Amino acid sequence: MACEDCKLNSPELVLESMVRRTDAIIDRIGGTRDKIIPLLQALQEEFSYLPSDALNHIYERTEIDRAQVISVSSFYSQFRMVPYGKHTIKVCIGTACHVKGASIVYDAFKRELNIPDDSITTNDQQYSIEKVACLGCCALAPVVQIDNKIFGHVQAGRVRDVLAEFEELQSQNGKENESQKREPQGEVRIGMENCCQASGTAEVRDAVVKACDELGINVKLKPISCVGACNQVPLIDVAMPNGEIVRYPNIKSEEVKEVLLHHFKPASKLRRLRNVILNHIDTFHTDTTWDNILWKPEQERTQHINTFLNGQHRISTEGYGKMNPLDIDEYIKLGGFEALKKALTSMKREEVIDEVLKSGLRGRGGGGFPTGRKWQMVAGNESDKKYVICNGDEGDPGAFMDRILLESYPLRVIEGLIIAAYAVGADEGIFYIRAEYPQAVIRIRKALDMCREKGMLGENILNTGFNMDIRVFEGAGAFVCGEETALIGSIEGKRGFPHLRPPYPAQAGLFGKPTLINNVESLSQISYIINHGAEEYAKVGTEGSKGTKVFALAGKVNHGGLIEVPMGTTLRQIVEEIGGGVEGGEKLKAVQTGGPSGGCIPAELCDAKVDFDALNQMGAIMGSGGLVVLSESSCMVDVARYFLNFTCEESCGKCTFCRIGIRRMLDILDKLSTGKATMADIDRLEELANSVKKSALCGLGKTAPNPVLSTLRYFRNEYEEHVQGICRTGSCKGMVKLVVTDDCLGCTKCARCCPSEAIAFTPYEKHEIDVTKCTLCGLCMDECDYKAIKYENLHK
Amino acid sequence: MKIYINNKELEVSGNEPLIEELNRNGYNIPSLCYAKEAKHQASCMVCMVKNIANGQMIPSCSTFPTEGMKIETDTEEVLSLRQMSLELLLSDHRADCEAPCTIVCPNKLDPAQILLYYDKTHPCPPCEGGSSHAEKDTPNTNKDLRESFPCYNCKAPCEKACRRGTVDKSVSIREIMIEMAENHPVLFENTPNGNSLPHREGRGGSVFSSKLGRYTNEEKEWLKEVYNDASHCLHCACEGRDKCKLREYSAQAGIKAPRYGVSSSLPVKEQIRVVGKLCYEPAKCIRCGLCVYNSEDGFTFHNRGFVMQVVIPEESKNHIKEQLATLCPTGALFLAP
């Protein structure tokens, strides 16, 4: 990083500057022990890592000591002790990315950038690379983030293009487009969530701005809440003054100009004429526009997105694709804060709790504990101080519901949190948002400021005498902090160690005070319940699970995205109808729900209605709502191993069964995936899994064996095949090799694309793969037009 | 208040954790991470009992009795889970209780202890200049020694078992034993049981012995560098084995051999001098955290998950008191002799 230190030439001056900058951070954030995480985050932001001189200064000036810094900084994955290169490449290894080959992408970046095996930074200090838990853009898998720019669908073969694109962006930075002051002729609505930007929406947005400038037309460009149809982006809606809305899914930036011309009149006739001519020339002379978006009939254009959107039921995501997430006036106009008003002015605290209780709302974070009961418990504990916390530490790889809700509907979640605070008698609220979601943090902060300005937060809210304020706490990268006692620990400045309940947070939570912790999605349903009444809400859903559930649909499905459906919808409806079936016409094998704590539900059970209880019975859990579709080409042993690897790394390390038990399970799975296991190992794995489930201390540990137990239950034959040395899908790299079949014509395409030079350049001869050099990246398989390369089992 | 232990009613105050009530009434609940009067957090799960009301396994060290609570302490399920927790801990415990040479000695001698004494009295490798061999005490003039001392006619299985042999070359145990017997006969007298030879105690079925597993190549290089006493002995026997609760409970549970392969990220045989006589050997640590919770700005956790370790930063060593060793349930913290 080209910091100001580089200009200083003596070590004393460097130290002095570092101390000065550290002092400023301490002055800004404070020096009590509970401030350690924000302090370390600010230090890292300032210096790009945690320099020891700065830490020494922290020990001198604050209550924080060395033991605490070591303990905390080494617990959370966000912190690093070595400087990184100028740019950081984050390769997402979430579930959806994993099943689409994230580790191959990681290797491809390392190869492309010539990063040595034992390092993560290029020799010229330009790029550092790391794997991250989940960027929450699962429908665009595999996903990679370079600095703040997210790239979707990054297959290993695209790595070079992505880097080139990034460098081009770097050189373009700073160019701004002229602003416009004339009356808008209409509106162009465009989703600007992180994930939309990853798939070219940012380029489309730029194209709109540029086209408007060129054509001299003036439209209002409105950022809108997420439509959820991640598979159909870039997506723009053109809204005409007469209320007509025309939807353009999958639009390309080169098509923007024409779409705008179609709907709006340019400033002058001359300009218009010139543009029409030029555009037609463009259209007929470039291949890309032969498949022109305007030439497609409405039905063809929007068929997929319509089937995707039908069958959904919007409560948490009401106003999708219409609302500007950060326009508080619009939110109020559409009925926002009505629930808050109603609760504060016409309902007693007990009545609010009663309403939530009657609605049957169950916690959407995973466990499904009745939300109203939780509120009752906190309300029932007398205390001079109480806290409410919104749990936005969505750590499940393969889940991004909470991120979208926070980014797209920040005001609705805030409203829910204020109502909760009123109901339980708290005056301080905290948004706990994980570090990987910077956009959510920014939007919630902005939305909180707006609420304060409007008198919805702070002293004397809506003139009712109720006081409360909310702050944001950024998580530092630990899956276990989704567990409420661990989450509290981390706000208090400790390692995210869960502790034994009782005492429950409702009795003694944050700083020992009664604390209510609700998940983002639970809170986003509160305003609907208060506005429409518990009975109306309870009409949706099943007997034991009321309302709707937001799911993140990803994996091997045609149309992934964010969906909200009534409880009781079947998995098959979700995959086949909303999701448009399994990718590549393959057969559905299973649906993984609930992330690392959940299980795999086999295709034959996918007709069961999805609710808390049904999923539990099938050995899975609702979890926070990630649905990863697995096809015939997914290996279940690999899936189980993937999740266990995740929990092994994310285990807090406190109790024996989770810390060592999961490691020993993983040892056995490693043996299985390299064909070295025996049948007795499968039994031992099962015994360990059942024991960890019974004996681990917290929810993370108790549920960690679920992916293994559920795959053992439904796909035991696959485990047995692995003992015999067979992995049918080629996912277990330790037991397969790539071979060229007789279908090979010797076209050399594979030889040219092979990054590790494992295929000799032999035109018109059948190619051979040198297994000693082959890294099994599979690029050649994708390249081969004759399907002449396939996996073969090593141990036959 | 009344609680029910294995269907038997028990009157308790409710002010102390279950484990105290249970132990007072003779239930003998094992526990590693718990120490009365010290700060602790449930982690080892060796003390678990079953709460019948919800079917959950709970650590009795951190659970307080509630009115009418029903607890099981002695069912097959509880006992086998406790045993598994010990077995899991042992699979991440890279240390030997007893030295292999001592274990295999057909004559029930304790070569490990003699080697310890040998190295103490031979501070530098003998072949290097300035070596200060210990003064010989009255040499053994007993001509029958050759016949009475068993090492003379032994095939020295100790040297085959010697761990040093897996690193480079076995320690010449037999030679050293004979040298010590000739020059320091006093060492072999006045030993317990009136036996004339130092005899290792407690051999037999009831004692459990942890095994360290194999050294990696890097470890071997490191051991060669660090363990270069006169005898080249690695001093495998654990200094803290007599007070080690992990060993005690493993023996009680009837554990004979490890059920899970030892794989561990811990640095084997690394011994850190903390303060005074207090030493810390991370490879024996079970990460219960007692030393962390009961020292101020001293021992601390590092990392998370399986690779989590307890570390002592150089700058914090002087914040530690020697007595902390008494809290450690294993031989990870011990006072050097």
- For A558-605, write each residue's pLDDT tens digit: 998 899 999 999 999 999 999 999 988 899 999 999 889 999 999 999
Structural class in CATH, domain B2-74: alpha beta
**Res A178 pLDDT > 80:** no
DSSP assignment of A693-716: HHH-SSHHHHHTTHHHHHHHHHHH
- Supply the pLDDT for residue A118: 85
| Interface touch A660/B91, C-beta < 8 Å | yes
**Res A182 pLDDT > 70:** no
Out of A66, A495, A657, name the one closest to residue B85 (CB): A657
| Interface touch B303/A75, C-beta < 8 Å | yes
Out of A70, A499, A654, name the one closest to residue B313 (CB): A70
A646–B contact, CB cutoff 8 A: no
Percent of the residues in chain A that have a pLDDT greater than 70, as a whole number = 94
Out of A74, A75, A648, name the one closest to residue B306 (CB): A648
| Interface touch A648/B305, C-beta < 8 Å | yes
Q: How far is CA A382 from CA A417, A484, A724, in A?
A: 20, 21, 62
Peptide bond into A142 cis (omega under 30): yes
DSSP-derived secondary structure letter, A633: T
The shortest C-alpha distance from A754 to chain B (Å) reads: 34
Contacts B85 to A, Cβ<8 Å? 656-657, 695
Amino acid at A59: Y
| Interface touch A500/B43, C-beta < 8 Å | no
The shortest C-alpha distance from B253 to chain A (Å) reads: 17
Q: What is the pLDDT of residues A471-488, one digit of tens each?
A: 999 999 999 999 999 999
B44–A contact, CB cutoff 8 A: yes
Contacts B309 to A, Cβ<8 Å? none
A775–B contact, CB cutoff 8 A: no
Mean pLDDT calculated for residue range A711-725: 96
Contacts B59 to A, Cβ<8 Å? 500, 697
Which of A60, A69, A656 to probe the B interface (max B CBs under 10 A)? A656
Domain ranges, ordered by start, for chain B: 2-74, 96-237
Out of B260, B299, B302, name the one closest to residue A664 (CB): B260
Full set of structural domains in chain A with CATH: 4-75 (no CATH), 87-172 (3.40.30.10), 186-300 (3.40.30.10), 328-493+501-532 (3.40.50.11540), 548-723 (3.10.20.600), 733-793 (3.30.70.3270)
Q: What is the pLDDT of residues A624-642, one digit of tens each?
A: 788 999 999 899 999 999 9
Kindly provide the b/e burial profile for residues A718-743, where b requires at least 16 CB atoms within 10 angstroms of the residue's own CB: bbebbbebbbebbbbbebbebebeee
Q: What is the pLDDT of residues A364-383, one digit of tens each?
A: 987 789 999 999 999 999 99
Out of A66, A74, A500, name the one closest to residue B297 (CB): A66
Predicted confidence band of residue A9 (pLDDT cuts 50, 70, 90): low
Q: What is the largest CA-CA distance in chain B?
A: 75
B42–A contact, CB cutoff 8 A: yes
Cβ contact B284:B330 at 8 Å: yes
**Res A237 pLDDT > 60:** yes
Helix ranges (DSSP H) in A495-652: 520-524, 526-532, 534-538, 571-572, 612-617, 636-650
| Interface touch A661/B88, C-beta < 8 Å | yes
Out of A70, A478, A664, name the one closest to residue B300 (CB): A70
User: Nearest-CA residue of chain A relative to B298?
Assistant: A67
Contacts B301 to A, Cβ<8 Å? 70-71, 74-75, 495, 653
CB pairs < 8 Å spanning A and B: 120
How far apart, in whole angstroms, are the C-alpha atoms of residue A481 and residue A394?
Answer: 9
A312–B contact, CB cutoff 8 A: no
Cβ contact A475:A435 at 8 Å: yes
Amino acid at A795: H
- The interface residues of chain A toward chain B in range 414-433, judged by CB-CB distance below 8 A, are none
Q: What is the pLDDT of residues B127-161, one digit of tens each?
A: 444 444 445 555 555 556 666 788 888 999 999 99
Q: Which carries the bigger pLDDT value, residue A391 or residue A730?
A: A391
Residue A274 parent element (H or E): helix A269-285
Which of A654, A668, A683 to probe the B interface (max B CBs under 10 A)? A654
Rg for chain B, CA atoms, rounded: 23
Helix ranges (DSSP H) in A64-186: 66-75, 95-99, 102-112, 159-172
User: What is the Cβ-side half-sphere exposure of residue A701, based on CA atoms within 13 angstroms?
Assistant: 31
DSSP-derived secondary structure letter, A587: P
For residue B150, which phi and psi values (nearest 5 degrees)? -65, -25
How far apart, in whole angstroms, are the C-alpha atoms of residue B240 and residue A148?
Answer: 53
How far apart, in whole angstroms, are the C-alpha atoms of residue A654 and residue A500?
Answer: 11
Handedness of CA A358, A364, A366, A371 (dihedral sign): negative
Q: What is the pLDDT of residues A753-766, one digit of tens each?
A: 888 889 999 999 99
CA neighbor of B150 nearest in space, from B186, B187, B181, B184? B181
B63–A contact, CB cutoff 8 A: yes
Reported pTM: 0.90
Predicted confidence band of residue A493 (pLDDT cuts 50, 70, 90): very high
- Supply the pLDDT for residue A2: 43
Cβ contact B19:B82 at 8 Å: no
Among A9-18, A166-175, B95-104, the range scoring the smallest mean pLDDT is A166-175
Contacts A68 to B, Cβ<8 Å? 297, 300
A678–B contact, CB cutoff 8 A: no
Dihedral (Cα; A572, A576, A581, A586), 10-degree rounding: 40
β A548-555/A561-566 pair status: antiparallel
- The interface residues of chain A toward chain B in range 74-93, judged by CB-CB distance below 8 A, are 74-75
Amino acid at B143: K
- Supply the pLDDT for residue A344: 96
Q: Which carries the bigger pLDDT value, residue A767 or residue A297?
A: A767
How far apart, in whole angstroms, are the C-alpha atoms of residue A733 and residue A739?
Answer: 14
Which of B41, B47, B88 to probe the A interface (max A CBs under 10 A)? B88
Q: What is the pLDDT of residues B177-209, one digit of tens each?
A: 988 888 877 777 644 444 445 555 544 445 788
Close Cβ partners of B223 (under 8 Å, ≥ 6 residues apart): B167, B215, B234, B268, B269
- Supply the pLDDT for residue B205: 44
β A548-555/A149-151 pair status: unpaired
How far apart, in whole angstroms, are the C-alpha atoms of residue B287 and residue B268?
Answer: 15
Q: What is the pLDDT of residues A12-66, one digit of tens each?
A: 888 999 999 999 999 999 999 999 999 999 999 999 899 999 999 999 999 999 9
How far apart, in whole angstroms, are the C-alpha atoms of residue A334 and residue A725?
Answer: 60
ipTM of this complex prediction, to 2 decimal places: 0.91
Predicted confidence band of residue A438 (pLDDT cuts 50, 70, 90): confident
Contacts B304 to A, Cβ<8 Å? 74-75, 478, 495, 650-653
How far apart, in whole angstroms, are the C-alpha atoms of residue A222 and residue A324?
Answer: 7
| Interface touch A663/B263, C-beta < 8 Å | yes
Cβ contact B5:B19 at 8 Å: no
Cβ contact A140:A153 at 8 Å: yes
- Supply the pLDDT for residue B161: 93
| Interface touch B59/A500, C-beta < 8 Å | yes
- Supply the pLDDT for residue A327: 94
- The interface residues of chain A toward chain B in range 131-160, judged by CB-CB distance below 8 A, are none
